[in-house]
């Protein structure tokens, strides 16, 4: 799928993804995992609960029914694991994905959530017809280290791009999103719930995407580079593959319709140009770089001051830093395109 196609598709599934919230009490079954809808509520959105220990699981869903349907699936804290999928009258389709189940289920310093695995079948006309959950302890994971622009946001209208990333991936790899709101390179290293917890979970070959900048507002350049270096070296010591990611832009336009200013491009109060520091450090350390600043800048400028409001929470919250579901979904598409182009993930694992 091309980048243009991904961005178009992202815009069309927003309504379904925002609708897939946990609004009904889940039904419980005796078995910890299995087949069928006996784990699920009987009214839409269909919430299914599986009493599982933390770990990695393959999930196969069957969609469709006697009428035409359109179904999306989210997991745990609003993670988009399957984009809205249309089925014709009488048609059944099978889709599969891999899910990381952990405690807490959302942000590392947030509420614990419910133990086990929660799946929600939403969309404009959800038609779940079956669910199979099987343990996948050897499945690789993509770890995400970041802030509120990346994390699993607990409530609408907020969404992080890491929250939307799983829908672009096939069965065989899970997204372990350990991004946390309000974190800087300083706090992510210092908080025992963050890097000290994430680091031991990393296994050989696991990609680890690192995007921290928005909250390094008073971090000097030397400290910022040193902290990112510590994160990269910690990942490498575990056999993981660190990937440095420049931060998404703020939607802050100049009068000429560009984002060529320090607010938009994450230059902090000390004059530290975060994206430039990340680019330089990636070259120095020999790590892959996803220049999400450049990619999101191009997207926002292409849309212009008015249309780009839909990517952020400008209308809802007067917030030009945090993304809407549409914005997070489009930005996740940009990330997955880079994962493919740089061969950080094999083609067979990307939808």
Q: What are the b/e assignments for 4-34, b being 16+ CB within 10 Å?
A: eebbebbeebbebbbbbebeeebeebeeebe
Tokens, residue 163: 């929250």
pLDDT at 127 over 70: yes
pLDDT of residue 34: 56
Give which of 69, 65, 77 is closest to 108, Cα–Cα: 77
Helices 3-12 and 325-341 sit at what angle, rounded to 10 degrees? 160
Which letter does DSSP use for residue 263 in this model? Answer: T
Q: What's the helix, strand, coil split of the chain in %, to 5?
A: 30, 25, 40
The model scores a pTM over 0.75: yes
Tokens, residue 18: 């925002």
Question: 303-321 pLDDT, tens per residue?
Answer: 999 999 999 999 999 999 9
pLDDT at 18 over 60: no
Share of the chain above pLDDT 70, in %: 90
Phi, psi of 243 (to 5 degrees): -130, 120
Quote the mean pLDDT of the chain. Answer: 91
| Contact call for residues 131 and 37 (beta carbons, < 8 A) | yes
């Amino acid at each position: 799928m091309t980048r243009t196609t991904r961005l178009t598709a992202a815009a069309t599934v927003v309504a379904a993804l925002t609708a897939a919230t946990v609004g009904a009490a889940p039904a419980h079954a005796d078995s910890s995992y299995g087949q069928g809808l006996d784990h699920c509520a009987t009214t839409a959105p269909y919430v299914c609960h599986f009493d599982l220990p933390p770990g990695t699981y393959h999930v196969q869903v069957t969609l469709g029914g006697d009428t035409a349907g359109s179904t999306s699936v989210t997991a745990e804290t609003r993670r988009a694991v399957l984009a809205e999928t249309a089925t014709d009258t009488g048609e059944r389709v099978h889709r599969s994905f891999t899910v990381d189940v952990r405690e807490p289920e959302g942000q590392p310093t947030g509420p614990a959530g419910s133990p086990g695995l929660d799946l929600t079948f939403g969309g404009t006309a959800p038609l779940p017809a079956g669910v199979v959950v099987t343990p996948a302890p050897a499945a690789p994971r993509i770890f995400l280290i970041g802030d509120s622009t990346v994390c699993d946001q607990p409530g609408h209208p907020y969404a992080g791009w890491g929250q939307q990333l799983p829908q672009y991936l096939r069965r065989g790899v899970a997204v372990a999103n350990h991004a946390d709101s309000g974190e800087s390179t300083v706090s992510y290293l210092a908080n025992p719930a963050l890097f000290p917890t994430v680091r031991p979970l990393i296994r050989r070959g696991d990609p680890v995407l690192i995007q921290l900048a928005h909250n390094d507002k008073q971090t000097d350049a030397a400290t910022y580079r040193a902290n990112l270096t510590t994160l990269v070296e910690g990942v490498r010591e575990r056999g993981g593959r660190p990937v440095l990611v420049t931060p998404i832009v703020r939607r802050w336009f100049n009068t000429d319709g560009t984002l060529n200013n320090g607010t938009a491009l994450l230059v902090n109060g000390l004059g530290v140009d975060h994206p430039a520091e990340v680019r330089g450090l990636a070259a120095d350390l020999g790590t892959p770089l996803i220049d999400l600043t450049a990619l999101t800048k191009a997207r926002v400028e292409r849309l212009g001051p008015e249309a780009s409001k839909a990517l952020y929470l400008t209308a809802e919250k007067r917030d030009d830093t945090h993304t809407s579901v549409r914005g997070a979904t489009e930005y996740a598409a940009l990330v997955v395109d880079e994962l493919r182009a740089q061969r950080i993930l094999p083609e067979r694992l990307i939808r």
